[in-house]
Amino acid sequence: MIVKIFASVAAVIGSAALSLATMIALVRGTILAVAIENLPLRILAVCADIILGTILLLVCIYVATHLAVKVLGVGNAEFPPLPQDAPASDVPLTEPPKN
């Protein structure tokens, strides 16, 4: 029980630190990209910053989510059963709006 609590706290702190480091890296990269004097090179740097920043943020979210699922142990849980479709006669009909 104590180990699971410690792992959960470590996962939250690790995810927060990873997100903060990602945002700091993206802000620094954006500042450096915008500071470039050569216009074509600046456009290329900003496009690369957008693409790599998006990938980096997605990886950060994936790692944090994957870590949380591993710590909580819900990765092998069964899905609840799907609801049965109701017959058409049981579906309530909505009235058209009155003017």
Total-model pTM? 0.62
Read off the pLDDT of residues 11-69 as tens digits, 9 standing for 90 and up: 889 888 988 998 998 999 999 999 999 999 999 999 999 999 899 989 988 988 888 78
- Three-state secondary structure string covering 13-28: HHHHHHHHHHHHHHHH
Report pLDDT for 88. Answer: 57
Report pLDDT for 35. Answer: 93
- Residue 52's region, left for phi above 0, alpha for psi from -120 to 50, else beta, is alpha
Report pLDDT for 94. Answer: 66
**Residue 82 scores a pLDDT above 70:** yes
Report pLDDT for 27. Answer: 92
Report pLDDT for 70. Answer: 79
Report pLDDT for 75. Answer: 61
Residue 45 in tokens = 């740097």
Report pLDDT for 96. Answer: 61
Confidence of residue 97 (pLDDT cuts 50, 70, 90): low
